[in-house]
Amino acid sequence: MRFLFLGDVVGRSGREVITSQLPGLRQRWSLDFVVVNGENAAGGFGITEKICDEFIDAGADAITLGNHAFDQKETLVFIERQERLIRPINFPKGTPGRGAALLRARNGADVLVINAMGRVFMADLDCPFRAIDTELTACRLKEGADAIFVDFHAEATSEKQAMGHFLDGRISAIAGTHTHTPTADERLLPGGTAYITDAGMCGDYNSVLGMDIEEPITRFITKIPRGRFEPANGRATLSGLAVEIDDATGLATRLKAVRIGGVLGQSEAEFWAV
């Protein structure tokens, strides 16, 4: 199976790089399954139904969220009918939507997508380790699902690394999101799970975490808000992780960080190049 995950989409420039690049990548790399983190897609805060549909039309099979999941109030409603939109599994009981979804890949495989949120330097949610463990007990790799992917939306690198090792050998791949900065530690863990601490963002890197630089600098210097955070709208980089998954075991065989366009050094999944 050929799997692609794309990190946090920030604002209009991030949306445009998804809609312009993803259709071609699906064809060029013969991708079986694509997951996109869309929690910052609507002006940097949340996602709308229109944007969600645009990502699906561009080739996303699932869209994950994070701490900004419900910044757009309409999400509270449409998430109930959109099975491909997945919010953190460790949100309180009764939160609209779902924290995991079993979806069909283009090659016919069943892929379990789980979204979870960290607790270090973030909201005090239910334990993400226990929440994911419960889901995996109900749907095990190669029993309930042919492949399993986790988007772990967390601030602390230690919490992300701990989660990777906690899940190693039980899932196909795990990618961290939330910090909007790609890490250089993509690797196969000893048990065969593909891992990266943070996949980075799909947005303009001439920014502060995807936001126009003036307001963040002002707040750091003066501690006084002067206006709203607004997404930077320069040339965006498509950032993510490409993973090849063994159909027999559901574990990863190779992976590569992906960075296409924008100002970062370029990196593609050359093992899929035609």
- Catalogue the active-site residues: 68
Nearest to 46 by CA among 64, 69, 16, 62: 69
> At residue 226, what is the residue type?
R
Nearest to 18 by CA among 48, 50, 56, 47: 56
**47, 65 in Cβ contact below 8 A?**
yes
Strands 62-64 and 85-86: parallel
171's tokens:
């899932």
- Dihedrals φ, ψ of 76, to 5°? -60, -25
User: Using CA atoms, how far apart are residues 154 and 197, in angstroms rounded to an integer?
Assistant: 9
Beta bridge partners of 100: 114
User: Using CA atoms, how far apart are residues 250 and 243, in angstroms rounded to an integer?
Assistant: 11
User: Using CA atoms, how far apart are residues 212 and 209, in angstroms rounded to an integer?
Assistant: 9
**41, 47 in Cβ contact below 8 A?**
yes
